[in-house]
Amino acid sequence: MEHSNKVWFITGASRGFGRVWADAALKRGDKVVATARKLDSIAELKDKYGDNVLTLELDVTNTEQVKSTIAQAHAHFGRLDIVLNNAGYSLVGTIEEASAEDVKAMYDTNIFGPLAVIQAALPLLREQGYGHIMGTSSNLGHVTLPVIGYYASSKWAFEAIHESLAEEVKAFNIKVTIIEPGAYATEFGSQDSLKFAAGMDIYTDYKNQFFESLKNMERGDPNATPDALFKVVDSENPPLRFNLGANNLAWTEGAYNQRLASWREWQDVAVSAQGQPK
């Protein structure tokens, strides 16, 4: 059973895409459970939209809080049509610079947080007989950049988890979509959305050049994205992967063409390693 007026559960709703999408969903008449680590950061939504929004404090790295928040959200509106994992941040540092603790902390938010939300929501979605699990990944779920390689690695993991999930929950009438934004002018580049590994002098010039190159990158307008997102959530057959923005496809195609060319170049060597059939 699908609903024209949808009930959303959104993590990371205080800023960036989470805030834009929560606001847009409420404007079109949907209901939203908006969550953020600090309740005062989303209080304005409550003032603006009244009973159509439920604002809840949620740290996605706190699994017990995730469970209770999902249960409260479902009980409040009686259903959840869309569960959207949007909370996340980027770790800035070369592979050598970042500590294991830095990487684990980012994975707690970018991977284990969304997993906790999905695992808490699935029994409820199964019981109601439908649902749409969505997650904000990145074009960096397919390609990488230096200096933010650990962030990209979290998105590669995010992609694989959701691809497996999509097959596993298909029989329960639960859909899965990975949202893959390119570069956008959101607060994702703010200090709240970036954490910096301790630097090593040997990489200083390299990183400065990298950051300088990013300044020239074309960035999309996040406020132009809601209508595209609504087309996905309102579709009877939403895509597993959804590129957000104009520049992703060319970049991803280029990366995959390079991989295919390399695999083909080394195919004879690969075949030679097969041995005799057993």
Catalytic residue among 89, 151, 154, 175: 151
Active site residue 193: no
Q: Kindly tell me the burial class for residue 260, based on how many C-beta atoms sit within 10 Å of its own C-beta (0-12, 13-18, 19 or more).
A: exposed
DSSP of 179-218, one letter per residue?
Answer: EEE-SB-SGGGSTTTEEEPPP-GGGHHHHHHHHHHHTTS-
H helices, E strands: number in the chain: 10, 9
Active site residue 190: no
- Give the H or E element holding residue 55: strand 53-57
Rounded-to-integer distance, Cα 107 and Cα 16, Å: 20
Catalytic residue among 49, 90, 154, 155: 155
Catalytic residue among 14, 90, 137, 153: 137
Active site residue 155: yes
Q: Please give the structure tokens belonging to residue 250.
A: 């060319």
Catalytic residues: 137, 151, 155
